[in-house]
Amino acid sequence: MKPTSKLNRFWGMLLLAACITLSMGTLAWSDSDKWNEGGSKNKSEGGKAGSWGQTTGVAVVTNKLYAAECSACHFAYQPGFLPERSWVKIMGSLGDHFGENAKLDEPTRVSIENYLRGHAADHLPNRFSTSFLRSIKADASPLRISETGYFIRKHDEIPARMVRDNPKVRSFANCASCHGGAEKGSFDEDAVRIPGFASWED
């Protein structure tokens, strides 16, 4: 075999190896089950950094008005858990907010709604938010994060006695009771601690 032929074969094999490596990396990047639990490439979006700059969380709440008004009654859920249409529906029915009157003066309501809409899962999607978005039908506007397919799939193996029957939790809506990093946008499964029980593992 001529030296030139050997050299061409060497470079051809090297190029093939590079293509295979790149393809494998792309598959891992797009794996919805593994990677969609991550956030974006930007560490500031919440959670701890993972492979390729991924995070294990959703963009943190940055609006002080929203945080103050909503956390007065419950955990201030990150906008990235629901699509814009859901937040519009929620903010348009505050007079009957899950059985409570949560009405706000109009300037405050509009300000908070604009923040939620602009940071919803379909506008600033990191991979964690995208997982939620993909599990919601295009014509659906869920009002509860716990009604989304992705949430249900991630919590379906947790017995009721650990949540609903647990006086320290009471509801799946009580995120911060089991996710210590919830306020920082971190919902890493490995960090789940259910009050009264040992660490949870699927």
Residue at token pair 């529906």: 89
Q: What are the helix (H) ranges across the chain? A: 3-30, 32-35, 64-71, 84-91, 106-118, 127-134, 149-155
Give the pLDDT band of residue 49 (cuts 50, 70, 90): very low
Report, as an integer, the average pLDDT of 170-199: 78
Q: Where are the domains of the chain?
A: 59-144, 157-197
Question: pLDDT averaged over the chain?
Answer: 75
What the block records as the tokens of 6 is 């050997």
The reply to whether the predicted model has a pTM over 0.85 is no
Residue at token pair 């050997």: 6
- For 25, phi then psi, to 5°, come to -65, -40
Q: Give the whole-angstrom CA distance, residue 19 versus residue 46.
A: 32
Integer angstrom CA distances of residue 170 from 166, 177, 198: 5, 9, 17
Give the closest residue to 62 by CA, choosing from 109, 143, 124.
Answer: 124
Integer angstrom CA distances of residue 158 from 33, 166, 171, 188: 18, 12, 12, 16
Position 83 scores a pLDDT of: 95
Query: Going by C-beta distance under 8 Å and a sequence separation of 6 or more, which residues neighbour residue 201?
Result: none
Q: Give the whole-angstrom CA distance, residue 150 versus residue 137.
A: 12
Give the pLDDT band of residue 43 (cuts 50, 70, 90): very low
Give the closest residue to 81 by CA, choosing from 125, 31, 36, 17.
Answer: 125
Position 29 scores a pLDDT of: 38
